[in-house]
Structure formats: C-alpha cells, structure tokens
Amino acid sequence: MKLLMAANWKMFKKLDEAALYAKELAKLAQNLPPDREVALFAPFTALRVCADNLGASVALGGQNCYPAAQGAFTGEISPDMLLDCGCSHVLAGHSERRSIFGEDDAFIGKKCAFALSSGLKVLLCIGERLEERDKGLLKTVLERQLSGDLSAVPDTVSDGDLAIAYEPVWAIGTGRVAKAADILEAHAVIRAFLERRFPALGKKMRILYGGSVKPENAAEIIALDNVNGVLVGGASLQIDGFSRIVLAGNA
C-alpha cells in the first residue's frame, strides 16, 4: 500500500498562487519515491486552475460536496461538478465541517455513499475532541463516527476508493501534534473497525494522520504502524514545506 501525502489548503489561495504552487507540485511529483502518492485538496474556485497545472501525477480533490446529482441547493457543489473540474477525490467529515457547519454523522454518511457512487474517491476525516479524549472516549467516538459515516457504503467498496484520516481535533492548527502512542492507539482502533466492516478489504485501506504535521515530524509519523500517509493543513500552504513533507523519511 503506497503512502498518500495529502495537502488540504482549506480556505486559502487565489488563482495566481494556486497555479504557481500546482506547477511546482507537478514538478515534484515527477520524481516521487516509489512508495508514495500525492493529493491536493483545493478550494472549489482553484480546482480548475490546479487541474490544468498539476498533470497526471498528483490527485486533485474537493474539500466538500453535497449528496445530490444536481438541484436547488444554493451554494453547494455536486460530486459530478468535482469530477468535471478534474477531481478524483473528495474530503468528507472534516472537523471544521462538523464543528462550524454542524454536519452530523447521518449527513456525512449520505455524503460518503453518494460521492463514492458518483465515482469519487473519499477521504473520510474523523477524530475526537479534547474533552472526549480526557473522558476516555477515544474508541467510542471513533467507532461512532466510523459506523455512522460509513453506514451506507457498500461492503464491496474498492480499497483504493475509501481512506480514513484520523485528525484529533485538539491537534488541528494548534501546533500540538499527537504523540506516537496516541496515533498508534487511534489508528489501531480504526484498522480493527475497518477489518470488521469490510472483511476482505479493511486491512488494505489507507489510514492517514492529520493534525499539526510539519516537515520536522512527518518522517516519524509515517514510520508508525497503520499510518499510511498524512493530511496536512497549515504546513501545506508553502510548497517548500509541503515538498519536504512529501519526501519525508525517504533515504
């Protein structure tokens, strides 16, 4: 299973910055170590210019989509529109969507199933809040999110079409990266769930870590058991920093 090194720009970058970055990332992707792949989750407005500049070696994804083919959903974007802009991937369940926009597991579940059935690959983000962790609820929260968010996903989903990003809410944008033991514990919970939920394929699905990943800590994180890549926010905004993350630990 190859590592997936993914950038999530969140609500950053206008067209000119996006184009420059995408050109640089495309160059980097020409000489990737054979054990890894790169994906970029860009804002909707920058998707087309990214698609035009990335080339085939970098996967492009939207940060969100609405679970309907089309219709009267002002301000929303369908999976088909993402495909039309050159996307192969979409994020679902990011903690910022959950906490700022009130998305719950039932809605995220619809989104995952609809996006997959539309032909997008889904990177589902889950993670506990600090107060949940402090109450010893890590496993409960992760399993509740996974079971709700994946409830309508067919058992036969391809292992390449679905990946999970473990992003502890307290580590996102805080500079406070989870300790190795925390990441190992959470990823083991997720792996066990995936193996139960998708008996044939769960062991082959990628589990990424996200939350204050930096060039300085990426190598240690991707060396951990059951860590199959990273999802990077702040440190992905500069191409130099993200390039160092993409190449992290590569001898």
* Residue 15 C-beta: closest distance to ligand 13P, Å: 22
Q: Is 212 in the site for ligand 13P (CB under 6 A)?
A: yes
Nearer residue to ligand 13P within complex by CB, 69 or 130: 130
Within a 10 A sphere around the Cβ of 31, how many other Cβ atoms?
A: 8
Written as one letter, the residue type at 96 is E
* Residue 211 C-beta: closest distance to ligand 13P, Å: 5
Token pair listed for 191: 């792996």
Residue 143: exposure state from Cβ atoms within 10 A (0-12, 13-18, ≥19): middle
47, 50, 56, 61: CA torsion to nearest 10: -30
Nearer residue to ligand 13P within complex by CB, 9 or 193: 9
* Residue 84 C-beta: closest distance to ligand 13P, Å: 24
For the annotated catalytic residues, the residue numbers are 94, 167
Within a 10 A sphere around the Cβ of 118, how many other Cβ atoms?
A: 18
For residue 127, CA distances in Å to 34, 131, 144 come to: 29, 12, 10
Q: Is 213 in the site for ligand 13P (CB under 6 A)?
A: yes
Q: Is 172 in the site for ligand 13P (CB under 6 A)?
A: yes
Nearer residue to ligand 13P within complex by CB, 89 or 94: 94
Reference 189, options 144, 151, 229; nearest CA is 144
Residue of 93, 210, 215, 241 interacting with ligand 13P (CB under 6 A)? 210
* Residue 13 C-beta: closest distance to ligand 13P, Å: 14
Token pair listed for 131: 């107060």
- The angle subtended at Cα 194 by Cα 141 and Cα 242, nearest 5°, is 80
Q: Is 201 in the site for ligand 13P (CB under 6 A)?
A: no
C-alpha 77/C-alpha 67 separation (Å) is 9
Nearer residue to ligand 13P within complex by CB, 201 or 248: 248
Binding mask 4-43 for ligand 13P (x = CB under 6 A): ----x-----------------------------------
Near ligand 13P by CB under 6 A, which window of 109-117, 190-198, 201-209, 233-241? 233-241
Nearer residue to ligand 13P within complex by CB, 82 or 172: 172
Strand positions, DSSP E, 63-161: 89-92, 121-126
Q: Give me the residues that bind ligand 13P (CB under 6 A), please.
A: 8, 94, 167, 172-173, 210-213, 231-235
